[in-house]
Amino acid sequence: MSATATTTTAASASTITLDSSLAGHDEEQIRLMEERCIVTDTDDNYLRDGSKKECHLMANINKGLLHRAFSVFLFDPVSGKLLLQRRAPEKITFPNMWTNTCCSHPLAIKGELEETAQIGVRRAAQRKLDHELGIPAAQVPLDDFQYLTRIHYLAPGDETWGEHEIDYILFITAQVTLKPSMNEVCDVKWVSPEELKALMTELDPEAFTPWFKLIVEKFLFPWWAELLQRRTSKPVSGTAASAAAAAATSAQQGEGVCDAKSLADLQQHVRMVARLTQSPVRPIQALGQRRSRVG
């Protein structure tokens, strides 16, 4: 029989009912489990909303419950390095693991339900970059996010929690200021392709989130190589001062700057389907027609 209790977090006046799956976890992370995610079918069509807790319980995932998510890869436009984060130990799912810049979910709210040109996902990405890493929205304009593809994957974290997502992959290049929330992120690191390969060789494979490992294995390095190769003279996003500094640095180096929007022709209207256990990865499949949903 599950033990139950109630608690009221400092960040919310709402009362949250706890069961054994949440007992002992951080109060702020428990509060976030009440957020409403977007439940979809396997073609990414909206079905309904569901709590973050409901969507991440393996008991529901094993019955096929699937939700929409995104993964942001943020690159410095001058160095071309990728920003990694290490998930805080307070996180309920996949704590203490290294991953891409930001991984989260659009919510079932007006604005983030909108699907045209992935605008809802972009808005969610902008919101979460601020929440997790303290990156102001002005430094990551919505139009600067470049959508590349979606992956559909399933990954157990433990017997209780896991992920089953249709994950939108977004690249962005921007000079940013960082002020990480220690309840979300316990470390950050800028890496080149060579440094990431060395890090993934040096650390235990379990030090990285399963979706990040999948994206690295199947997609990241060819896209990253194209990003570095397609340097342009376009001004970079960020504050006026940081943009000017970046332009001066790149001019001194005799190089252009990286621009995620230069990868628009690589956008894929397909998805990869993977169960990240001992089962082999299934081949890439085309997505069916999707109904438009505007919140």
**What pLDDT score was predicted for residue 31?**
86
**What pLDDT score was predicted for residue 148?**
95
Short-list 47, 14, 50, CA closest to 30: 14
Short-list 181, 184, 212, 180, CA closest to 196: 212
Across 188-195, average pLDDT: 98
User: Strand, helix or coil at 80?
Assistant: coil
Tokens 């599950």 locate to: 2
Tokens 């397609």 locate to: 230
β-pairing, 185-191 vs 162-173, is unpaired
**What pLDDT score was predicted for residue 71?**
98
**What pLDDT score was predicted for residue 8?**
37
Question: Taking 90 as the threshold, does the pLDDT of residue 165 lie above it?
Answer: yes
Q: In angstroms, rounded to a whole number, what is the distance separating the alpha carbons of residues 269 and 168?
A: 11
pTM to 2 decimal places: 0.82
Short-list 201, 227, 228, 136, CA closest to 175: 136
Chain Cα centroid distance, residue 280:
23
Question: Which amino acid does the sequence have at 181?
Answer: S
% of the chain at pLDDT higher than 70: 77
Short-list 231, 193, 245, 205, CA closest to 81: 193
Q: Which of 17-21, 117-121, 233-237 has the highest mean pLDDT?
A: 117-121
Question: Taking 60 as the threshold, does the pLDDT of residue 181 lie above it?
Answer: yes
Across 140-157, average pLDDT: 95
Number of Cβ within 10 Å of residue 270's Cβ equals 12
**What pLDDT score was predicted for residue 288?**
37
β-pairing, 67-75 vs 102-104, is antiparallel
Higher pLDDT, 202 or 287: 202
Cβ contact 88:184 at 8 Å:
yes
Query: Where does the pLDDT of residue 277 fall: very low under 50, low under 70, confident under 90, or very high at 90 and above?
Result: very low
Short-list 226, 289, 285, CA closest to 260: 226
Tokens encoding 34: 């009440």
8-state DSSP, 278: S
Across 236-260, average pLDDT: 59
Digit-coded pLDDT (tens) for 47-61? 999 999 999 999 999
Catalytic residues: 103, 165
How many CA atoms does the CB half-sphere of 287 hold within 13 Å? 20
Phi, psi for residue 111 in degrees, rounded to 5: 100, -45
Across 263-281, average pLDDT: 61
**What pLDDT score was predicted for residue 254?**
43
Tokens encoding 36: 């409403």
Helices (H), 175-232: 193-202, 210-215, 221-229
Across 209-214, average pLDDT: 94
Q: By 3-state DSSP, what share of the chain in percent is helix, strand and coil, each rounded to 5?
A: 30, 30, 40
Radius of gyration of the chain (CA): 19
Cα→Cα distances 258→50, 81, 190, 229, Å:
38, 10, 15, 8
Name which of 87-91, 161-165, 221-225, 243-247 the model is least confident about.
Answer: 243-247
Per domain, the residue ranges of the chain are 18-274
% of the chain at pLDDT higher than 90: 69
For domain 18-274, the CATH superfamily is Nucleoside Triphosphate Pyrophosphohydrolase (3.90.79.10)
Question: Taking 80 as the threshold, does the pLDDT of residue 87 lie above it?
Answer: yes
Digit-coded pLDDT (tens) for 8-26? 333 333 444 557 788 777 7
**What pLDDT score was predicted for residue 196?**
98
Mean pLDDT of the chain: 83
**What pLDDT score was predicted for residue 234?**
60
Residues 6+ apart with CB under 8 A from 120: 106, 111, 112, 113, 114, 295
Short-list 72, 89, 85, 90, CA closest to 187: 85
**What pLDDT score was predicted for residue 28?**
86
Query: Where does the pLDDT of residue 74 fall: very low under 50, low under 70, confident under 90, or very high at 90 and above?
Result: very high
